[in-house]
Every structure is written in structure tokens, then in C-alpha cells.
Homo-oligomer: A and B are copies of this chain.
Amino acid sequence: MQVTKTVEATRSLVKQWKREGKTIGLVPTMGFLHEGHASLIRKCREENDIVVVSDFVNPTQFGPNEDLEAYPRDFERDCALCEKMGADLIFNPQPEEMYQDPCAYVSIHTLSDTLCGKTRPIHFKGVCTVVSKLFHIAAPDKAYFGQKDAQQLAIIRKMVRDLNFDVEIVGCPIVREADGLAKSSRNTYLNDEERKAALCLSRAVKRGQEVIRTGCESEAVLKEMRAVIEAEPLARVDYVSVVDALTMQPVERVEKDVLVAMAVYIGVIIGCIAQYTVMPLAA
């Protein structure tokens, strides 16, 4: 496995692989890799000749009061995991390598104005910009993103269509701890008490799945889910919402292709833990 720190070195490797006719898969990450990332890398390994993992805490997707400095980092452990998972390259640039007096950016309206976009107004502009840059640098045939960040995934899919990126976006299922908490680098912020409190999220998901059915009112589902979370004193709901899975706009009734999304603060953690959940309708 190789490690690159510069755009040029990465591009040079990618061009060589392309010349050899190899297909390239990209797993964009902010590092501090966990089993969720591992599942993306595994899927990528299965579907491509070359697996590139980018490992970069992107400053432009953090707001001024968010957790850029506190965001957990452990590059050595990331390297070990990537090596074990059979990655061919980790691209690990410093912010100065990625941003030099930046003026141009990629953004998206409508899909970025709702849900997490309300409390994090610049977040998805940062995400779209860095993902565009990574696509231009690594020139992947396929790129892998977790369904946990469902709004991000919907935005990237729409961005790819709107801007004609020649990349296939692959969404991968949420990976959970044994007790139900979705794996997330930010779980490391939680102390023991908060870690227990955070289980209200997966309990709310479970409760939602019990009551949800095609053709029911969204409010019926949301009421039950909110009740579960509000029973937990350390939890503060940012939002729980039933939205169209493509446009991220709220819908009043649960029909085909809806997404139930939520973001909940646990304790006094900096930033927001977004625990999105795609809810497949009962068959």
C-alpha cells in the first residue's frame, strides 16, 4: 500500500493505473476509521482493480463553532486498517495542499437547505467542493459513501448528475455497534453516560420501523420517534423529519422513497452527531 501527501503524486499514480486499464474505486473519509469505513473499503475492494482511500479532515465543511480542532485523528491506525483491508493507496494531504487561497467552490441549493443544512449552513458547500476536488484528483470509476450521512449521499448523487461527473456513486448500509449505536468517528466524544444515552437514537429508529407503513401520515411516525428521544434527558433533538429521499424536502405522508432523518445532540458535545437512517418500507 502506498501513501501520498500531494495532489501531484496521487495523480501520477492514478494516471499510471489508468494507462494500465485498471478501474479505480475511491473511499473519501475524514480518517479515524471504524467498521463503517471498513465496510466501504471492503465493498470498494470487491468492485475495483485499485482502491484509493482519502484520509483528510476537510476544514471547509466545519462551521466556525464546530469541532474541526477536536475532530479525532489517528493516521497510523488508519494506515493499518487500510493495509489490512487491501487498499492500494491512502491520500493524506495537509489542508495547505488542498486549499491555496481558494475562490472557486461547488455548492447545491434546495437539498442543502433542509435538515443538517439548517444548523450547518456552509457544511454541504464544503462537502461538495472537497468531493469534487477528490474526484478530479483520483478520477475514480466508483466512489463509496455511507448511508448514515443520508443527506450527504443524496447531495453527492445529485451533484454528480447535475455536473456530469463520470463517477458511479455507491451507497453502503449503516454499520452499528452490537447494542445498536451507529458507528461514527464522533462517538469518541461520548463519555460512558452519554454513550448509554445515545442508544435512544437506535431505539427511536426501531420504534419508527414498528409503526411505519406505506400510506401513513408522517406525523404518526415522528411523534413516536420523538417520544423515545425526548424520554432521554441527555438528548436534544435537532430535527426528526420524513423527507423525499431524492429532494430532501419534507413530505406529509409516508410513501415510496421517503427517508426518515434525524440529528440529535447528546450531552454537551461540540458539533452535531447526525444519525441518519434510511427506513425501508415494510414489504
A contacts, CB < 8 Å to B: 7, 11, 100, 102-111, 128-129, 132-133, 136-137, 139, 155, 158-159, 161-166
The answer on a CB contact under 8 Å between B164 and A7 is yes
The answer on a CB contact under 8 Å between B11 and A102 is no
Copies of this chain present in the complex amount to 2
Q: How far is the CA of A216 from the CA of B105 in the complex (A)?
A: 36
Q: A164 contacts which chain B residues (CB < 8 A)?
A: 7, 133, 136-137
The answer on a CB contact under 8 Å between A129 and B163 is yes
Minimal beta-carbon separation of A90 from chain B (angstroms): 18
A-B contact pairs, 30 of them (CB 8 A): A7-B164, A11-B166, A100-B161, A102-B162, A103-B110, A103-B111, A103-B158, A103-B162, A104-B106, A104-B107, A104-B108, A104-B128, A104-B158, A104-B159, A104-B162, A105-B106, A105-B107, A105-B108, A105-B109, A105-B162, A106-B106, A106-B163, A107-B107, A129-B163, A132-B163, A133-B164, A136-B164, A136-B165, A136-B166, A139-B166
Q: Closest residue to A7 on the B side, CB-wise? A: B164
Q: How far is the CA of A129 from the CA of B104 in the complex (A)?
A: 11
Known: A103-B108, A104-B107, A104-B108. 6 other contacts (CB 8 A): A103-B162, A104-B163, A106-B132, A107-B107, A136-B163, A136-B166
The answer on a CB contact under 8 Å between B163 and A133 is yes
Minimal beta-carbon separation of A262 from chain B (angstroms): 23
Q: Closest residue to A165 on the B side, CB-wise? A: B136
Q: A109 contacts which chain B residues (CB < 8 A)?
A: 103, 105
Q: A163 contacts which chain B residues (CB < 8 A)?
A: 104, 106, 129, 132-133, 136
Q: How far is the CA of A11 from the CA of B164 in the complex (A)?
A: 10
Q: Closest residue to A102 on the B side, CB-wise? A: B162
Q: A100 contacts which chain B residues (CB < 8 A)?
A: 161
Minimal beta-carbon separation of A74 from chain B (angstroms): 26
Q: Closest residue to A162 on the B side, CB-wise? A: B104
Q: A104 contacts which chain B residues (CB < 8 A)?
A: 106-108, 128, 155, 158-159, 162-163
